[in-house]
Amino acid sequence: MKPLFELRDITKSYNDSTILDIPHLMIKRRGVYGIMGPNGAGKTTLLSILAFILPPTAGTIYWEGVDVNTMDSHQLRKKVTLITQNPYLFHTTVEKNVAYGLKMRRIQSQKRKEKIEESLQLVGLSGFGKRMACELSGGETQRVAIARALALKPQVLLLDEPTANVDQQGIEQLETILQELNEKLGITIIVATHDTNQAYRIADEVNYFFEGKITKSPMENLFKGRIVKKDKDLLLFDTGRIHIALLPGRKHVSHIAIPPEDIIVSLEPVATSARNSFAGTISQVTDEGDGVTLTVDIGEKLRAKITKRSFQEMTLTLGSSVYVSFKSSSVETF
Protein backbone atom coordinates (compact mmCIF):
# COMPACT_ATOMS: atom_id res chain seq x y z
CA MET A 1 0.00 0.00 0.00
CA LYS A 2 1.33 3.42 -0.95
CA PRO A 3 1.92 5.90 1.89
CA LEU A 4 -0.58 8.70 2.32
CA PHE A 5 2.20 11.30 2.20
CA GLU A 6 5.70 10.89 0.87
CA LEU A 7 8.13 13.81 0.95
CA ARG A 8 11.32 13.70 -1.09
CA ASP A 9 14.13 16.29 -0.96
CA ILE A 10 11.83 18.90 0.57
CA THR A 11 13.35 22.24 1.49
CA LYS A 12 11.82 25.55 2.55
CA SER A 13 13.89 28.71 2.56
CA TYR A 14 13.33 32.35 3.50
CA ASN A 15 15.82 35.08 2.60
CA ASP A 16 18.53 32.54 1.72
CA SER A 17 18.06 30.78 5.08
CA THR A 18 16.92 27.13 5.01
CA ILE A 19 14.07 26.55 7.47
CA LEU A 20 13.33 22.95 6.50
CA ASP A 21 15.49 20.26 4.90
CA ILE A 22 13.88 16.80 4.66
CA PRO A 23 15.51 14.23 2.36
CA HIS A 24 12.70 11.71 2.92
CA LEU A 25 9.62 11.33 5.12
CA MET A 26 6.66 8.95 4.84
CA ILE A 27 3.27 9.24 6.53
CA LYS A 28 1.14 6.10 6.39
CA ARG A 29 -2.63 6.01 6.23
CA ARG A 30 -4.34 5.68 9.64
CA GLY A 31 -1.12 6.41 11.52
CA VAL A 32 -0.56 8.72 14.48
CA TYR A 33 2.66 10.74 14.24
CA GLY A 34 4.41 12.99 16.73
CA ILE A 35 6.65 15.85 15.60
CA MET A 36 9.01 17.18 18.24
CA GLY A 37 11.66 19.85 18.45
CA PRO A 38 12.46 23.22 20.03
CA ASN A 39 11.01 26.52 18.84
CA GLY A 40 12.31 27.28 15.36
CA ALA A 41 12.96 23.61 14.55
CA GLY A 42 10.61 23.71 11.54
CA LYS A 43 7.57 21.93 13.00
CA THR A 44 4.98 24.57 12.07
CA THR A 45 6.52 25.02 8.62
CA LEU A 46 6.24 21.28 8.00
CA LEU A 47 2.58 21.23 9.10
CA SER A 48 1.80 24.14 6.77
CA ILE A 49 3.41 22.28 3.87
CA LEU A 50 1.48 19.10 4.69
CA ALA A 51 -1.73 21.15 4.81
CA PHE A 52 -1.01 22.42 1.28
CA ILE A 53 -1.04 25.97 2.62
CA LEU A 54 2.66 26.63 2.09
CA PRO A 55 4.53 25.33 -0.96
CA PRO A 56 8.06 23.98 -0.46
CA THR A 57 10.95 25.81 -2.06
CA ALA A 58 12.16 22.58 -3.64
CA GLY A 59 11.35 18.88 -3.63
CA THR A 60 8.33 16.71 -4.33
CA ILE A 61 5.29 15.78 -2.23
CA TYR A 62 3.37 12.65 -3.17
CA TRP A 63 -0.22 11.95 -2.09
CA GLU A 64 -0.96 8.24 -2.33
CA GLY A 65 1.89 7.91 -4.82
CA VAL A 66 0.84 10.83 -7.03
CA ASP A 67 2.87 14.04 -7.37
CA VAL A 68 0.64 16.73 -5.81
CA ASN A 69 1.77 19.20 -8.48
CA THR A 70 -0.35 17.19 -10.94
CA MET A 71 -3.42 17.26 -8.68
CA ASP A 72 -6.19 19.77 -7.95
CA SER A 73 -4.87 21.80 -4.98
CA HIS A 74 -8.39 22.80 -3.92
CA GLN A 75 -9.44 19.15 -3.64
CA LEU A 76 -6.23 18.28 -1.79
CA ARG A 77 -6.87 20.96 0.85
CA LYS A 78 -10.25 19.36 1.54
CA LYS A 79 -8.50 16.17 2.60
CA VAL A 80 -6.28 17.80 5.23
CA THR A 81 -7.09 20.18 8.10
CA LEU A 82 -4.57 22.14 10.17
CA ILE A 83 -5.57 23.21 13.69
CA THR A 84 -3.29 25.85 15.15
CA GLN A 85 -2.11 26.27 18.73
CA ASN A 86 -4.65 29.08 19.26
CA PRO A 87 -7.52 28.24 16.89
CA TYR A 88 -9.72 31.16 15.92
CA LEU A 89 -13.41 30.80 16.78
CA PHE A 90 -16.02 33.27 15.63
CA HIS A 91 -17.70 35.36 18.36
CA THR A 92 -20.90 33.36 18.19
CA THR A 93 -22.23 29.98 19.33
CA VAL A 94 -20.39 26.68 19.20
CA GLU A 95 -22.83 25.23 16.67
CA LYS A 96 -22.40 28.20 14.33
CA ASN A 97 -18.64 27.77 14.50
CA VAL A 98 -18.91 24.09 13.63
CA ALA A 99 -21.40 24.91 10.86
CA TYR A 100 -19.13 27.41 9.10
CA GLY A 101 -17.37 25.01 6.71
CA LEU A 102 -20.60 23.14 6.03
CA LYS A 103 -22.35 26.36 5.01
CA MET A 104 -19.44 27.26 2.76
CA ARG A 105 -19.92 23.91 1.03
CA ARG A 106 -23.66 24.56 0.82
CA ILE A 107 -24.70 21.55 2.86
CA GLN A 108 -28.47 21.63 3.44
CA SER A 109 -29.77 22.79 6.82
CA GLN A 110 -31.01 19.45 8.14
CA LYS A 111 -27.85 17.66 7.08
CA ARG A 112 -25.80 20.42 8.73
CA LYS A 113 -27.57 19.88 12.04
CA GLU A 114 -26.85 16.16 11.90
CA LYS A 115 -23.17 16.71 11.12
CA ILE A 116 -22.80 19.36 13.85
CA GLU A 117 -24.27 17.08 16.51
CA GLU A 118 -22.22 14.11 15.30
CA SER A 119 -18.99 16.14 15.34
CA LEU A 120 -19.62 17.59 18.82
CA GLN A 121 -20.39 14.13 20.13
CA LEU A 122 -17.07 12.83 18.76
CA VAL A 123 -15.16 15.43 20.80
CA GLY A 124 -17.24 15.02 23.97
CA LEU A 125 -19.16 18.29 23.62
CA SER A 126 -22.73 17.12 23.09
CA GLY A 127 -25.08 19.79 24.42
CA PHE A 128 -22.53 22.60 23.89
CA GLY A 129 -24.13 23.85 20.66
CA LYS A 130 -25.75 26.95 22.18
CA ARG A 131 -22.73 27.90 24.30
CA MET A 132 -20.87 31.03 23.25
CA ALA A 133 -17.35 30.40 21.99
CA CYS A 134 -15.96 33.14 24.24
CA GLU A 135 -17.10 31.17 27.32
CA LEU A 136 -15.03 28.10 26.53
CA SER A 137 -11.86 26.91 28.26
CA GLY A 138 -8.65 26.36 26.32
CA GLY A 139 -9.32 22.63 26.03
CA GLU A 140 -12.93 23.16 24.94
CA THR A 141 -11.80 25.66 22.30
CA GLN A 142 -9.44 23.06 20.86
CA ARG A 143 -12.21 20.47 20.83
CA VAL A 144 -14.61 22.82 19.01
CA ALA A 145 -11.90 23.48 16.43
CA ILE A 146 -11.48 19.71 16.00
CA ALA A 147 -15.26 19.28 15.71
CA ARG A 148 -15.38 21.98 13.02
CA ALA A 149 -12.74 20.06 11.11
CA LEU A 150 -14.45 16.68 11.61
CA ALA A 151 -17.71 17.99 10.17
CA LEU A 152 -15.93 18.19 6.80
CA LYS A 153 -14.68 14.58 6.97
CA PRO A 154 -10.92 15.15 6.53
CA GLN A 155 -8.55 12.25 6.01
CA VAL A 156 -5.76 13.96 7.97
CA LEU A 157 -5.75 16.12 11.10
CA LEU A 158 -2.67 18.26 11.70
CA LEU A 159 -2.40 19.79 15.17
CA ASP A 160 0.19 22.38 16.18
CA GLU A 161 0.85 22.26 19.95
CA PRO A 162 -2.82 21.45 20.71
CA THR A 163 -2.33 21.22 24.49
CA ALA A 164 -0.06 24.26 25.00
CA ASN A 165 -2.82 26.31 26.69
CA VAL A 166 -4.78 23.45 28.23
CA ASP A 167 -4.95 22.22 31.85
CA GLN A 168 -4.08 18.62 32.80
CA GLN A 169 -7.67 17.36 32.66
CA GLY A 170 -8.12 18.95 29.24
CA ILE A 171 -4.85 17.41 28.02
CA GLU A 172 -6.02 13.92 29.01
CA GLN A 173 -9.38 14.49 27.28
CA LEU A 174 -7.75 15.71 24.07
CA GLU A 175 -5.30 12.81 23.96
CA THR A 176 -8.14 10.31 24.42
CA ILE A 177 -10.21 12.01 21.69
CA LEU A 178 -7.33 11.94 19.20
CA GLN A 179 -6.70 8.25 19.85
CA GLU A 180 -10.40 7.46 19.40
CA LEU A 181 -10.64 9.46 16.17
CA ASN A 182 -7.74 7.47 14.81
CA GLU A 183 -9.07 4.10 15.95
CA LYS A 184 -12.78 4.59 15.14
CA LEU A 185 -12.63 6.80 12.04
CA GLY A 186 -9.21 5.90 10.68
CA ILE A 187 -8.12 9.54 10.54
CA THR A 188 -4.39 10.04 10.14
CA ILE A 189 -3.19 12.35 12.92
CA ILE A 190 0.02 14.39 13.04
CA VAL A 191 0.75 16.32 16.24
CA ALA A 192 3.54 18.83 16.81
CA THR A 193 4.39 18.97 20.51
CA HIS A 194 7.12 19.92 22.98
CA ASP A 195 5.95 17.20 25.38
CA THR A 196 8.05 14.04 24.97
CA ASN A 197 5.74 11.97 27.17
CA GLN A 198 2.68 13.09 25.23
CA ALA A 199 4.29 12.23 21.91
CA TYR A 200 5.01 8.69 23.05
CA ARG A 201 1.59 8.28 24.69
CA ILE A 202 -0.35 8.98 21.51
CA ALA A 203 1.96 8.43 18.54
CA ASP A 204 2.95 5.30 16.63
CA GLU A 205 6.06 7.11 15.37
CA VAL A 206 7.89 10.19 16.64
CA ASN A 207 10.13 12.36 14.47
CA TYR A 208 12.51 14.84 16.06
CA PHE A 209 13.42 18.07 14.31
CA PHE A 210 16.33 20.38 14.96
CA GLU A 211 17.16 23.37 12.75
CA GLY A 212 14.86 22.03 10.05
CA LYS A 213 16.36 18.53 9.91
CA ILE A 214 15.13 15.20 11.24
CA THR A 215 17.43 13.95 13.99
CA LYS A 216 17.85 10.49 15.50
CA SER A 217 16.90 11.42 19.05
CA PRO A 218 15.04 14.09 21.03
CA MET A 219 16.97 17.25 21.76
CA GLU A 220 16.76 17.21 25.54
CA ASN A 221 19.11 19.33 27.63
CA LEU A 222 19.62 21.48 24.55
CA PHE A 223 21.96 24.44 25.02
CA LYS A 224 23.18 27.17 22.69
CA GLY A 225 26.68 28.59 23.10
CA ARG A 226 30.23 28.62 21.72
CA ILE A 227 33.62 26.96 22.04
CA VAL A 228 35.87 28.97 24.39
CA LYS A 229 38.85 26.64 24.66
CA LYS A 230 40.24 24.22 22.12
CA ASP A 231 43.30 21.99 22.18
CA LYS A 232 44.14 18.43 21.22
CA ASP A 233 42.78 17.03 24.50
CA LEU A 234 39.84 19.26 25.35
CA LEU A 235 37.07 21.46 24.01
CA LEU A 236 35.14 23.66 26.40
CA PHE A 237 31.65 24.77 25.43
CA ASP A 238 30.32 27.91 27.11
CA THR A 239 26.52 28.11 27.51
CA GLY A 240 26.80 31.54 29.12
CA ARG A 241 26.38 30.02 32.58
CA ILE A 242 28.52 26.88 32.68
CA HIS A 243 31.39 25.25 30.75
CA ILE A 244 30.91 21.74 29.39
CA ALA A 245 33.78 19.55 28.21
CA LEU A 246 33.42 18.05 24.74
CA LEU A 247 35.44 15.51 22.80
CA PRO A 248 38.22 17.12 20.75
CA GLY A 249 37.97 17.26 16.98
CA ARG A 250 34.78 19.28 16.61
CA LYS A 251 35.22 22.31 14.34
CA HIS A 252 32.02 24.32 14.52
CA VAL A 253 29.63 23.86 17.45
CA SER A 254 26.71 26.19 18.19
CA HIS A 255 24.43 23.79 20.09
CA ILE A 256 24.82 20.76 22.31
CA ALA A 257 22.35 18.20 23.71
CA ILE A 258 22.85 15.77 26.59
CA PRO A 259 20.63 12.66 26.81
CA PRO A 260 19.03 12.57 30.30
CA GLU A 261 19.67 8.83 30.63
CA ASP A 262 23.44 9.41 30.26
CA ILE A 263 23.62 11.61 33.36
CA ILE A 264 24.71 10.09 36.68
CA VAL A 265 23.12 11.55 39.84
CA SER A 266 24.85 11.08 43.21
CA LEU A 267 24.92 12.53 46.69
CA GLU A 268 28.71 12.89 46.67
CA PRO A 269 31.26 13.45 43.90
CA VAL A 270 31.94 10.08 42.25
CA ALA A 271 35.22 8.67 40.97
CA THR A 272 34.56 8.46 37.25
CA SER A 273 36.19 9.06 33.91
CA ALA A 274 33.44 11.56 33.12
CA ARG A 275 34.96 14.99 32.50
CA ASN A 276 31.76 16.80 33.38
CA SER A 277 30.74 16.95 37.04
CA PHE A 278 28.60 19.66 38.65
CA ALA A 279 27.03 20.32 42.03
CA GLY A 280 23.38 21.32 41.89
CA THR A 281 19.96 21.42 43.52
CA ILE A 282 16.86 19.45 42.53
CA SER A 283 14.20 21.90 41.34
CA GLN A 284 11.66 19.44 39.93
CA VAL A 285 10.77 15.76 40.33
CA THR A 286 8.64 13.96 37.71
CA ASP A 287 7.36 10.40 38.11
CA GLU A 288 7.66 8.77 34.67
CA GLY A 289 6.09 5.45 35.67
CA ASP A 290 9.15 3.27 35.05
CA GLY A 291 11.57 5.84 36.47
CA VAL A 292 12.01 9.36 37.78
CA THR A 293 13.15 12.47 35.91
CA LEU A 294 14.97 15.08 38.00
CA THR A 295 15.52 18.67 36.97
CA VAL A 296 18.77 19.76 38.57
CA ASP A 297 19.85 23.40 38.67
CA ILE A 298 23.62 23.49 38.04
CA GLY A 299 23.59 27.04 36.70
CA GLU A 300 21.63 25.60 33.77
CA LYS A 301 18.56 23.41 34.27
CA LEU A 302 19.57 19.82 33.48
CA ARG A 303 17.12 16.90 33.20
CA ALA A 304 18.40 13.52 34.40
CA LYS A 305 16.60 10.15 34.40
CA ILE A 306 17.18 7.67 37.21
CA THR A 307 15.48 4.51 38.48
CA LYS A 308 12.85 4.66 41.19
CA ARG A 309 15.07 2.46 43.33
CA SER A 310 17.95 4.97 43.12
CA PHE A 311 15.55 7.82 43.86
CA GLN A 312 14.29 6.07 46.99
CA GLU A 313 17.70 4.88 48.18
CA MET A 314 19.11 8.42 48.00
CA THR A 315 15.91 9.78 49.67
CA LEU A 316 15.80 12.61 47.16
CA THR A 317 13.25 15.40 47.22
CA LEU A 318 12.80 18.97 46.01
CA GLY A 319 15.74 21.06 47.19
CA SER A 320 18.10 18.12 47.67
CA SER A 321 21.76 18.86 46.95
CA VAL A 322 23.23 16.41 44.43
CA TYR A 323 26.07 15.97 41.95
CA VAL A 324 25.53 15.24 38.27
CA SER A 325 28.17 13.70 36.02
CA PHE A 326 28.32 12.78 32.34
CA LYS A 327 30.99 11.85 29.82
CA SER A 328 32.13 14.15 27.03
CA SER A 329 31.27 11.35 24.60
CA SER A 330 27.62 11.58 25.69
CA VAL A 331 27.32 15.19 24.51
CA GLU A 332 25.78 15.54 21.05
CA THR A 333 27.07 18.54 19.09
CA PHE A 334 25.55 20.60 16.29
What average pLDDT is seen over the chain?
93
Q: Which of 256, 267, 330 is nearest to 296 (CA)?
A: 267
**CATH number listed for the domain at residues 222-333:** 2.40.50.100
**CATH for 5-215, among 3.40.630.10, 3.40.50.300, 3.10.20.310, 3.40.50.740?**
3.40.50.300
pTM of the model as a whole: 0.75
CB contact at 8 A, 299 and 241: yes
Residue 38's pLDDT is 82
What's the pLDDT at 212? 92
The neighbour count for residue 25, using CB atoms within 10 Å, is: 18
For residue 237, pLDDT over 70 is answered with yes
The pLDDT value recorded for residue 98 is: 97
The arithmetic mean of pLDDT across residues 304-320, rounded, is 95
Domain with CATH 3.40.50.300 in the chain: 5-215
Is the model's pLDDT at 219 over the cut of 80?
A: no
- pLDDT reading at 217 higher than 70: no
Euclidean distance between the first and final Cα of the chain, in Å? Answer: 37
For residue 234, the model assigns a pLDDT of: 80
pLDDT at 288: 85
Confidence of residue 127 (pLDDT cuts 50, 70, 90): very high
Angle, helices 109-122/138-150, rounded to nearest 10 degrees: 130
Region 117-128: mean pLDDT is 96
HEC per residue, the chain: CCCCEEEEEEEEEECCEEEEEEEEEEECCCCEEEEECCCCCCHHHHHHHHCCCCCCCEEEEEECCEEHHHCCHHHHHHHEEEECCCCCCCCCEHHHHHHHHHHHCCCCHHHHHHHHHHHHHHCCCCCCCCCEHHHCCHHHHHHHHHHHHHCCCCCEEEEECCCCCCCHHHHHHHHHHHHHHHHHHCCEEEEEECCHHHHHHHCCEEEEEECCEEECCCCCCEEECEEEEECCCCEEEECCCCEEEECCCCCCCCEEECCHHHCEEECCCCCCCCCEEEEEEEEEEEECCCCEEEEEECCCEEEEEECHHHHHHCCCCCCCEEEEEECHHHCEEC
Name the phi and psi angles at 304, rounded to 5: -130, 140
| Pick from 56, 62, 68: nearest CA to 18 | 56
| Distance of alpha carbon 98 from alpha carbon 268, whole angstroms | 59
pLDDT given at position 218: 66
Residue 75 has pLDDT above 70, yes or no: yes
**pLDDT at residue number 211:** 86
Q: How confident is the model at residue 4 (pLDDT cuts 50, 70, 90)?
A: very high
Residue 231 has pLDDT above 90, yes or no: no
Residues of the chain with CATH 2.40.50.100: 222-333
For residue 255, pLDDT beyond 90: no
